[in-house]
C-alpha cells in the first residue's frame, strides 16, 4: 500500500494532510458513537450504523469493483468481519464507561500486541527494539491505570470498561494480522463493503432479542457515523497508497488529541496528566517499533469501519 521515497514531496505532504483529515473524521465518528451508545445501547448503535454503512459502502463498491472476490478473499472477508464485530462491541461498550481519551489511549497498545501475534501466527522475529517498545507500552498502560484506579474512587463499570478496551485491543491486534493478508487479495472498497456487511450480518443474529427501532432524531447521528467511517477509510486508504507508512503512522496518534478535545467539548470529560503521560509512553513504544522496521505497516487504515 506504500510507494517509494521517490514520490514527489508535494504528494507526500498532501497524503500526510489527507491522513490527518481521515484520523480526525474517525475520531469524530467515535464521539458520535459514544453518544449513540449512551442513548440506545452499544448493540443498536452498531447494528443500525452498520446497516446504513452497508448501503453506503455497497454503492462505492458497486462503482469501483473489478469483479467478485475470490474464494480465498471471501473467506478472509468473512472471518475478519466476525473478529471486527466482537472488537467493535467491546470497544464501543467501553466508551459508555470511560472517557473518550482514556479509551483511545489504552487502545493504542494494540500494535504492540500485534508484534507477538505476528511472531506466533506469521513466524516473524521479535527484535530487541520491539521488546523494549513493549516494555515502554506496558509501562504507559500502567501509568494510565494507576491514575484511573489508584485512588480507589472509581466504579466497577469503569474497571469493566478498561478490561473491555484491552479485550478489544487484543482482537484489533489480530485484526491487523488479518489486514496484512487481506490487503494482498482485495482493494479498499471491497474490503470496506464486505467488512461492514459481515459485521451487520453477525449483529443481526441477535436482532430478535435486542434490536429496537431508533427514534427519528437518532437516525441523523447513525447515518452520520456510517458516513464518517466510510469517508475516513477511503481517505486513509488514498493516503497510504501515496506515501510511505513510516511517514503516516505518526498521524494515527493524533486521534488522542481529537478524542481529548471532543470528550471535553461534547461530554465534559476532564483530561488527567496520567492519561497524557501514559499515552506518550505507549506512542513512543509504537513509534520505536515503526522506525526499526524497513517497511512499517499502517495501523488503523482498515479499522475505520469497525
pLDDT per position as a tens digit, 141-150: 888 888 877 7
Q: How far, CA to CA in Å, does 43 sit from each of 38, 68, 203, 204?
A: 11, 30, 8, 10
pLDDT value at residue 33: 96
Output the average pLDDT for the chain: 84
123 conformational bin, left if phi > 0, alpha if psi -120 to 50, beta if neither: left
Cell of 183: 490487503
pLDDT digits over 30-82, tens only? 999 999 999 999 999 999 999 999 999 898 888 876 678 888 889 999 999 99
3-class secondary structure for the chain?
CCCCCCCCHHHHHHHHHHHHHHHHHHHHHHHHHHHHHHHHCHHHHHHHHHHHHHHHHHHHHHHHCCCCCCHHHHHHHHHHHHHHHHHHHHHHHHHCCCCHHHHHHHHCCHHHHHHHHHHHHCCCCCCHHHHHHHHHHHHHHHHHHHHHHCCCCCCHHHHHHHHHHHHHHHHHHHHHHHHHHHCCCCCHHHHHHHHHHHHHHHHHCCHHHHCCCCCHHHHHHHHHHHHHHHHHHHHHHHHHCCCCHHHHHHHHCHHHHHHHHHHHHHHCCCCCHHHHHHHHHHHHHHHHHHHHCCCCCCCCCCHHHC
Percent residues over pLDDT 90 in the chain? 41
Between residues 65 and 222, the one the model is more confident about: 222
Where in the chain are the domains?
Answer: 9-305
pLDDT at 126 over 80: no
pLDDT value at residue 295: 52
Burial readout 276-305 (b: 16 or more C-beta within 10 A, e: otherwise) = bebbbbbbebbbbbbeeeeebbbbbbbbbb
Most confident of 2-11, 158-167, 234-243: 158-167
pLDDT digits over 262-281, tens only? 999 999 998 888 899 989 88
Amino acid at each position: 500500500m506504500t510507494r517509494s521515497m521517490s514520490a514527489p514531496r508535494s504528494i507526500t505532504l498532501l497524503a500526510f494532510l489527507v491522513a490527518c483529515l481521515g484520523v480526525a473524521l474517525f475520531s469524530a465518528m467515535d464521539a458520535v458513537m459514544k453518544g449513540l451508545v449512551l442513548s440506545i445501547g452499544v448493540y443498536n448503535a452498531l447494528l443500525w450504523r452498520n446497516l446504513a454503512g452497508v448501503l453506503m459502502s455497497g454503492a462505492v463498491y458497486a462503482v469501483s469493483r473489478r469483479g467478485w472476490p475470490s474464494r480465498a478473499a471471501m473467506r478472509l472477508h468473512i472471518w475478519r468481519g466476525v473478529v471486527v464485530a466482537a472488537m467493535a462491541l467491546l470497544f464501543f461498550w467501553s466508551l459508555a464507561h470511560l472517557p473518550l481519551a482514556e479509551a483511545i489511549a489504552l487502545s493504542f497498545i494494540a500494535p504492540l500486541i500485534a508484534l507477538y501475534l505476528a511472531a506466533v501466527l506469521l513466524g516473524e522475529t521479535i527484535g530487541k527494539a520491539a521488546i523494549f517498545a513493549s516494555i515502554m507500552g506496558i509501562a504507559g498502560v500502567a501509568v494510565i491505570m494507576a491514575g484511573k484506579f489508584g485512588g480507589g474512587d472509581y466504579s466497577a463499570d469503569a474497571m469493566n470498561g478498561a478490561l473491555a478496551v484491552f479485550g478489544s485491543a487484543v482482537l484489533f491486534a489480530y485484526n491487523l494480522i488479518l489486514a496484512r493478508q487481506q490487503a494482498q487479495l482485495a482493494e479498499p472498497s471491497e474490503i470496506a463493503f464486505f467488512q461492514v456487511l459481515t459485521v451487520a450480518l453477525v449483529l443481526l443474529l441477535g436482532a430478535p432479542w435486542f434490536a429496537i427501532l431508533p427514534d427519528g432524531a437518532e437516525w441523523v447521528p447513525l447515518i452520520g457515523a456510517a458516513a464518517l467511517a466510510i469517508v475516513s477509510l477511503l481517505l486513509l486508504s488514498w493516503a497510504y497508497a501515496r506515501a510511505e507508512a513510516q511517514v503516516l503512522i505518526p498521524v494515527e496518534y493524533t486521534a488522542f488529541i481529537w478524542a481529548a478535545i471532543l470528550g471535553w467539548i461534547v461530554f465534559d470529560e476532564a483530561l488527567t496528566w496520567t492519561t497524557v503521560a501514559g499515552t506518550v509512553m505507549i506512542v513512543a513504544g509504537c513509534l520505536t517499533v515503526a522506525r526499526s522496521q524497513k517497511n512499517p505497516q499502517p495501523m488503523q487504515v482498515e479499522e475505520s469501519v469497525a
